[in-house]
Amino acid sequence: MVAIKLHELSKSFQGPVINQLSLTIPDQQITALIGPSGSGKSTLLNMIAGLTTPDSGQISFDNQPIFDAATHWNQPPAQRHLAMVFQDFALWPHMTVQENVAFALEKHLTKPELTAQVNWALEQVSLIDFRHRYPRELSGGQQQRVALARALATQPDLILFDEALSALDPELRTRLQLEIRALIHDQHLTAIFVTHDRPEALQPEYVAVSQAGTQQPTYQGLVQRSTFMGDHFDTYVQVGAYDWHVKTQLPYTTAPITLSIDPHQILTF
């Protein structure tokens, strides 16, 4: 649970990559950042994580400064209560699933505490029965779930997803998106999801069935089915080559539909 504020953040390598970026990222939501390859998405996440030092500007979490170029304040990454999930999973091949998840955890935990925490995280991603396997014995989707469990196990406030689903096939990606969305909400986490792939980014959250006359960008789709999820319906809509999942209050039958996207929730740079 953390709201992030970036104020006039800049970073150059050979040339400018991030230039005076000011941005507020709301807490307990998934915010998607979309940009082509080389546009500075990973650089931005790394600055938020504390792995790359900005040249100028400020970053705050819940109005507490974690980086301030003017005062040379730079909170170490380990104290920022965040986790990152990458496209290539970054699992240790010589460690089992449970060893991979345990690896990131604080060393001061007792053995039973450690086991409980690891098991809890593996249960969140439905991989408890796979805990003794090695990464090579898992599918791509399962490996990405291990990476997600490893992130969750550290009990972060914030998870940064760097093209985390880009390597997965569309069907698996869709399924993991739903799982990630449910986990982020259940755990009251904040998530930033960067991708170069627009449909991937649009799937998580801010798509709604369009009202007539909306000023927002709209997409034409075909409803596949609506599944009751307890307090809402998960309506599958085929939009071009992609299946979107839209949270709706009512079920929809198979028919063409117009979807709109809240542009305030989709940030392009």
Q: What residues line the site for ligand ADP (CB under 6 A)?
A: 13, 17, 35, 37-43
Tell me the residue type at 180: I
- Map residue 212 onto helix, strand or coil: coil
Structure tokens at 23: 């941005």
CA distance 224 to 75: 47
Our CB check for ligand ADP shows the closer of 51 and 78 to be 51
Q: How far is the CB of 43 from Mg ion (least distance, A)?
A: 8
Q: Which of Mg ion, ligand ADP, none is residue 103 near (CB under 5 to 8 Å by kind)?
A: none
Binding string, residues 25-64; x marks residues near Mg ion by CB under 5 A: ----------------xx----------------------
Structure tokens at 222: 């075909």
Q: How far is the CB of 217 from ligand ADP (least distance, A)?
A: 22
What is each CA distance from 56 to 13, 18, 20, 41, in whole angstroms? 13, 10, 8, 17
Residue 143 in the binding site for Mg ion (CB under 5 A): no
CA distance 199 to 97: 30
Q: How far is the CB of 45 from ligand ADP (least distance, A)?
A: 8
Identify which of 61, 67, 71, 62 has the alpha carbon closest to the alpha carbon of residue 18.
67
Our CB check for ligand ADP shows the closer of 35 and 77 to be 35
What is the dihedral sign for C-alpha 75, 77, 83, 89? positive
Q: Which of ligand ADP, Mg ion, none is residue 38 near (CB under 5 to 8 Å by kind)?
A: ligand ADP
Our CB check for ligand ADP shows the closer of 69 and 105 to be 69
For residue 147, report the phi and psi dihedrals to the nearest 5 degrees: -60, -35
CA distance 236 to 225: 5
Q: How far is the CB of 18 from ligand ADP (least distance, A)?
A: 8
Q: How far is the CB of 29 from ligand ADP (least distance, A)?
A: 21
Report yes or no: 244 and 221 within 8 Å, Cβ to Cβ.
yes
Tell me the residue type at 17: V
Q: How far is the CB of 60 from ligand ADP (least distance, A)?
A: 21
Our CB check for ligand ADP shows the closer of 89 and 244 to be 89
Our CB check for ligand ADP shows the closer of 37 and 215 to be 37
Instruction: Give the interface with Mg ion as residue ranges (CB under 5 A).
Output: 41-42
